[in-house]
Amino acid sequence: KAGVTQTPRYLIKTRGQQVTLSCSPISGHRSVSWYQQTPGQGLQFLFEYFSETQRNKGNFPGRFSGRQFSNSRSEMNVSTLELGDSALYLCASSVDQETQYFGPGTRLLVL
């Protein structure tokens, strides 16, 4: 089976812009979770989608949003980018909240 794919792999944006990241889960996986990784902070949970519904949400501001499509692909959107949003954004898929399998991540740099 193909693994989790994320696009784009790298992105450079400026403050105030918005960005959309994409994640394609492993075939058959219906749960998709998003994480932000910054140095020294580990992986911070953003949100989880299951069958097109947001099932869990972390403590991030409303500028961070997501959605999931009927084919389980998911997108994450960040509006009004801030310098502190520079991070590695990871997507993980699972059958249903079991072991999560991660994609390679999207590295976002906000200038």
Partner 1 sequence: DQQVKQNSPSLSVQEGRISILNCDYTNSMFDYFLWYKKYPAEGPTFLISISSIKDKNEDGRFTVFLNKSAKHLSLHIVPSQPGDSAVYFCAASATGNQFYFGTGTSLTVIP
> Where do contacts with partner 1 occur on this chain (CB under 8 A)?
4, 6, 33, 35, 40-45, 48, 56, 58, 90, 92, 97-105, 107
CB 48 within 8 A of CB 60: no
The alpha carbon of 97 is separated from its chain's Cα centroid by a whole number of angstroms, namely 16
Q: CA 60, CA 44: separation in Å to the nearest integer? A: 9
Residue 42 beta carbon to partner 1: minimum distance, rounded to whole angstroms: 4
Residue 13 beta carbon to partner 1: minimum distance, rounded to whole angstroms: 19
Which of 70/99 has CB closer to partner 1? 99
CB 79 within 8 A of CB 18: yes
Which of 28/40 has CB closer to partner 1? 40
Which of 33/72 has CB closer to partner 1? 33
Residue 89 beta carbon to partner 1: minimum distance, rounded to whole angstroms: 10
Residue 17 beta carbon to partner 1: minimum distance, rounded to whole angstroms: 24
Smallest CA-to-CA distance from 77 within 55, 92, 60 is with 60
For residue 96, report the phi and psi dihedrals to the nearest 5 degrees: -165, 85
